[in-house]
A and B are shown apart, each in its own frame.
Chain A
Amino acid sequence: MKIANAIFPWAAGLAVLLFAVGLPIALVTSPPDYQQGETVRILYLHVPAAVMGEMIYYAMASGSAAYLIWRHPMAGLVAKASAPVGAMFTALCLICGMLWGEPMWGTFWVWDARLTSTLIMFFIYLGYIALGDAFEDPERGDRAAAILALVGVVNVPIIKFSVNWWNTLHQPASLSLTKSNMSGEMLLPLFLMMGAYGMFYVTVLVIRVRSELLAAKIRNARMSQIAGNEAAQAIG
Chain B
Amino acid sequence: MNVFSTLLARDLKLAIRQSADSLTVVAFFAIATVLFPFGVGPETNVLERISGGVLWVTALLAALLSLDRIFTVDYEDGTLDQLVLTGQPLSIVVLAKITAHWLTTGVPLLIVSPLLAVTLHLPTAGYAPLLLALLLGTPTVSLVGAVGAALVLGTRRGGVLLSLLVLPLYIPVLIFGAMAVEAATTGRSATPELLVLAGFAVLAVTLCPWATAAAVRQAVE
Contacts and interface: CB of A to CB of B under 8 A. Distances in A.
Contacts of B147: 147, 151
Interface residues of B, number: 28
A148 B151 contact: yes
A47 interface: no
B171 A159 contact: yes
B200 interface: yes
Given A68-B214, A151-B211, A123 B151 contact: no
| Residues of B contacting A: mostly | helix
Contacts of B164: 123, 126-127, 130
A136 B203 CA distance: 33
Nearest to B158: A134
30 contacts: A120-B168, A123-B164, A124-B168, A127-B164, A127-B165, A127-B168, A130-B161, A131-B152, A131-B161, A131-B165, A134-B152, A134-B158, A140-B154, A144-B151, A144-B215, A144-B219, A147-B215, A150-B211, A151-B211, A154-B207, A155-B168, A158-B172, A158-B203, A161-B172, A162-B171, A162-B172, A162-B175, A162-B176, A165-B175, A165-B196
Interface of A: 68, 120, 123-124, 126-127, 130-131, 134-136, 140, 143-144, 147-148, 150-152, 154-155, 158-159, 161-163, 165-166, 169
Interface of B: 147, 151-152, 154-158, 161, 164-165, 167-169, 171-172, 175-176, 179, 196, 200, 203, 207, 211, 214-215, 218-219
